A and B are shown apart, each in its own frame.
Chain A
Amino acid sequence: MISVLVDILSWIALTAGAAFYVIGAVGMTRMPDLFTRMHSVSVSDTMGVGLLCFGMILQAGPSLLAVKIAFVVLVLWATGAVATHALARAALHDGAKPLLAAPDGRLVPTDCVDLFPELGVRLAQPLASETPEEGETPLPDDGATIAEPAPGYGPAGNTGANPDAAPDPTREDR
């Protein structure tokens, strides 16, 4: 009885893990730029690997083998996060610009300084000189736009500011 239950559980875990794995890989081939690809690889690196190994642990039963698989999962989770972080950092340092949706829906390469002014000091090369002035204005601006719609004004008054909270700085740029 219990063995059947364990089998069913590991069937579910392994199939779902394989599905997550494939979904992440499809994202890696289909996404438009590096950062979105990294985002989708993290699906297979966490849920895919985790579920696959969970299924294997169920099949291994309480043994040294199960501990080893758990160790593999832990190592993969830890190193995956570190490697992804290092990859993003190196790419930003190299001058890669994330593709972001402009207000009209097109995908535009955007300097991340525009989005995260507080990071500008460390990461940006091209806009480094301009960040101090620009860096202070968007932050209170964002706070204001987020705070205003919350009380429940209709979308008519705020459409200009609220949905464009992220692309707003990009519009200034271009």
Chain B
Amino acid sequence: MMFSVAILGVLVALTLAVVRALKGPTAFDRLLAANAIGTSAIMLLALFGFMTGRPEFLDIGITYALLNMIGTLAVLKFFRYGALGHAQDPAKEREPE
């Protein structure tokens, strides 16, 4: 019962996050919302596991958390440097080859 209440809250939050992801004027707003959606998915997963009495699914929650982080950071790195991992700024570009 208590998990149902918490799940309801998380579902409401998930809906609001999706609204922001669809509305978001900039890509950063969408990214923020996507991050929140990932967090909500993790909480939903954990709470759902507890509600159905099989909380072993939590291992997957940890993986989701790490993946969510990777996705967000990949997109942000892209914004910052124009590529994944290489400084693409022409001013800073050095040619090691």
Q: Which residues of A contact B (CB under 8 A)?
A: 7, 10-11, 14-15, 17-19, 21-22, 24-26, 28-29, 34, 37-38, 41, 44-45, 48-49, 52-53, 55-56, 59-60, 65, 68-69, 71-72, 75-76, 79-80, 82-83, 86-87, 89-91, 93-94, 96
Contact = CB atoms under 8 A, between A and B. Distances in A.
Contacts of B43: 21, 48-49, 52
A75 to B, nearest CB: 4
A87 B80 contact: no
Contacts of A69: 46, 58
A12 to B, nearest CB: 9
19 contacts: A14-B2, A14-B3, A15-B2, A18-B6, A19-B9, A21-B10, A29-B20, A41-B32, A44-B13, A56-B47, A56-B55, A60-B55, A65-B56, A65-B58, A76-B39, A76-B42, A87-B32, A90-B76, A90-B80
Taking chain B's interface residues, is the majority helix, strand, or loop, or is none over half, making it mixed?
helix
Interface string B1-43: 0110110111011101101100100101101110110011011
A11 B1 CA distance: 9
Contacts of A96: 26, 28
Nearest to B72: A83
Taking chain A's interface residues, is the majority helix, strand, or loop, or is none over half, making it mixed?
helix
A173 to B, nearest CB: 22
Interface string B58-69: 110110011011
Contact of B17 (A25, A56, A89): A25
Interface residues of B, number: 46
List of 10 A-B pairs having minimum Cβ-Cβ separation, nearest first:
A18-B9, A25-B13, A79-B69, A25-B16, A14-B6, A90-B79, A86-B76, A90-B76, A75-B65, A83-B72
B62 A25 contact: no
Given A65-B55, A82-B73, 15 more contacts: A18-B10, A21-B40, A22-B9, A22-B13, A22-B16, A44-B39, A45-B39, A56-B46, A56-B50, A68-B58, A68-B62, A71-B62, A86-B80, A87-B32, A93-B79
A19 B5 CA distance: 10
A26 B58 contact: no
Given A18-B10, A90-B28, A53 B35 contact: no
